[in-house]
Chain A
Amino acid sequence: MTDQANQSRRNFLYVAAGGLGAVAAGGMVVPFIGSMLPAADTLAASKTEFDVSTVVPGQLVTIQWQGKPVFVLNRTAELLKQVDGHDDILKDADSKAIDEVQAEWMDTPEKRKYRSIKPEYLIVVASCTHLGCIPLFKPTPGRKDWGDSVPEDWAGGWHCPCHGSLYDLSARVANGSPAPHNLHVMKYSYKTDTTVVIG
């Protein structure tokens, strides 16, 4: 009887000591994994200002925000027209699939289509939503300038060189692309008429 009591006491002590040891070892994981997450100064560099009036009509510039590339495209009336008429071949024409592809200012069907606060200035994260390459800008319609890298009924937009994803001039992804989503829209606002604050 005493032997049995001793045995169960020992078992309890083994489990208790072992359990506490495991908790302590597990706790040590927190600082090590935590040290691998983005550092405070990395996170702090999170806002970028940009003067969109430096982008001439029809021009695309790629700027940096948080180390990520960002497209700023000044769309002419003609380029804006090329956004129309192919909703049926888009995966997510209204940009409603996930939070990252929409913004609270997208409150009209017009803004959902153009995906920008001011229709002419499209500002989106330039990383292909498939695996992060920067898509190539191929704005003119058809195959004349781009060869067979784009489909015959190409409406103009972006073509990703890595795995062939296609986006239209509102950076909405076409069916058949490996990319799952439209290019992401980051938070931005107009500080003045032409200065945007990104982030």
Chain B
Amino acid sequence: MIEKLMKTQLFAWVDRRTGAEAIIKSQLTEYPAPKNLNYMWNFGSLALLMLVLQIVTGIFLVMYYKPSAEATFGGFTVAFDSVERIMRDINFGWLIRYMHAVGASMFFFVVYLHMGRGMYYGSFKEPRELLWIIGVVILLIMQGAAFFGYLLPWGQMSFWGATVITNLFGAIPVLGDFVTQLLVGGFAIGDPTLNRFFSLHYLFPLLLVAIVGGHVHALHVVHSNNPDGIDLHKPEEMIPFHPYYTIKDAFGVAFFLTIYAYIVFFNPQFAGYFIEVDNYVPANNLSTPAHIAPVWYLTPWYTILRSFESKLIGVLAMGGSLAILFLLPFLCKSAVRSARFRPVYQIMVIMFFIDVIILGYCGHSAPTPTLKIVGQLSTAYYFLFFVALPFLPKFEKTKPVPEGI
């Protein structure tokens, strides 16, 4: 179809003024991709899909959402009521809001799998270090956007989650109070906070679009890694991205949207994991819910924070656990990329994935002494994984890497 389109006079006219043909050829129809990519390589396009869906649903929600903590006659607030109005009175409002709320969780889900793929197959290693680093920046901006967005419904979890996280910044030496004030805009979370969070929640996705552009550009310079993690040179090892991987990605999208639609239509709160029950209670600044926890995609880092008794060390450890992701390409020194040929790394990285899930479970549950110890051990392994990486090549016997595919 593309070929047919490219033969038209109209396209020739556009091409003379934009160079569109060369771009389409080099980036799509003649863009070489390894022929052995498995389904773990679908999550990049799924993440892009989720970004677009979040932006589109978000734009429509903003047509009705009102960022104000002012009290209404009903005894709630303008923001809380406007969300309830979207749910009850706006045509299809329930659908668009559930798509957005479930979409946030699904976005993180595919991005975490995308990152796990990169870690397992060594996609972060030379020459793709910067590609990985841009990806980590994307993750941080996503987490910021999610945090800002979570305040907007102005429920109990919104309010107290924001209280806890803004207080975290207060622990930063010297600058802490200033940064907290910039975020909060008053003595406590209130109307000024809601308005600026709304502004930033709209800004961050725009930043994401720009940085995702950089991520894709960086990918198209160094090209995709592959499950064997070897450099490919021969033409017969490559296939053009279009139509082969556009079709495979489209199949992945159809499969993914089936699950997404099931959750949106039949189980949007997802047992309190995607939308927390306490957030249906309007924000009350005089009463903290009995158990507060962030949404599941932030709980691993929340556990790391909770594992330390000193507030400052907890905050530093949490910041460090994210910052250390930037260093992954430089800590992992093995010449072999894929875990398929690295028996020790393979066990370590699978344990790391399980470890993050355990951290997430601990952070979601009410704190008990047993879970605290489990959380502390998991935190220890989280950091140990990264610290051990540089020493791994000294004793790990890698399996022979194939010549080609």
A interface residue numbers (CB < 8 A to B): 33, 36-39, 42, 46, 62-64, 66-69, 127, 130-134, 136, 161-164, 176-180
Chain B, Cβ-Cβ closest to A70: B286
Chain B, Cβ-Cβ closest to A164: B367
- CB-based contact B164/A176 at 8 Å: no
A67–B308 alpha-carbon span in the complex (Å) = 29
- CB-based contact B309/A36 at 8 Å: no
Determine which residue in B160, B309, B310, B312 has the highest number of CB atoms from chain A within 10 A of its CB, and name it.
Answer: B309
Contacts of B311 in A (CB 8 A): 130-131, 178-180
A39–B181 alpha-carbon span in the complex (Å) = 11
* Nearest Cβ on chain B to A128's Cβ, whole angstroms: 9
- CB-based contact A132/B163 at 8 Å: yes
* Top-5 shortest CB links A-B: A66-B187, A67-B188, A132-B167, A131-B167, A131-B164
Contacts of B290 in A (CB 8 A): 136, 161
Contacts of B314 in A (CB 8 A): 178
A177–B287 alpha-carbon span in the complex (Å) = 21
- CB-based contact B181/A37 at 8 Å: yes
One digit per residue, 1 when the CB lies within 8 angstroms of any chain A CB and 0 when it does not, for chain B 157-169 equals 0001001101110
Decide: A134 near B310, CB < 8 A? Known: A36-B185, A42-B187. Answer: no
B196 at the interface (CB under 8 A from A): yes
- CB-based contact B287/A178 at 8 Å: no
Main secondary structure of the interface of B (DSSP, over half): loop
A130–B189 alpha-carbon span in the complex (Å) = 16
B7 at the interface (CB under 8 A from A): no
Decide: A134 near B288, CB < 8 A? Known: A39-B192, A176-B309. Answer: yes
- CB-based contact B186/A38 at 8 Å: yes
Main secondary structure of the interface of A (DSSP, over half): loop
With A38-B186, A131-B167 known, 4 other A-B pairs at CB within 8 A are A38-B187, A66-B188, A161-B291, A163-B306
Contacts of B292 in A (CB 8 A): 133, 161-162
Contacts of A162 in B (CB 8 A): 160, 164, 288, 292
- CB-based contact B168/A131 at 8 Å: yes
- CB-based contact A133/B187 at 8 Å: no
Contacts of B312 in A (CB 8 A): 180
Chain B, Cβ-Cβ closest to A62: B286
- CB-based contact B186/A42 at 8 Å: yes
* Nearest Cβ on chain A to B196's Cβ, whole angstroms: 7
- CB-based contact A69/B167 at 8 Å: no
B72 at the interface (CB under 8 A from A): no
- CB-based contact B167/A134 at 8 Å: no
Contacts of A180 in B (CB 8 A): 310-312
B252 at the interface (CB under 8 A from A): no
- CB-based contact B164/A42 at 8 Å: no
B393 at the interface (CB under 8 A from A): no
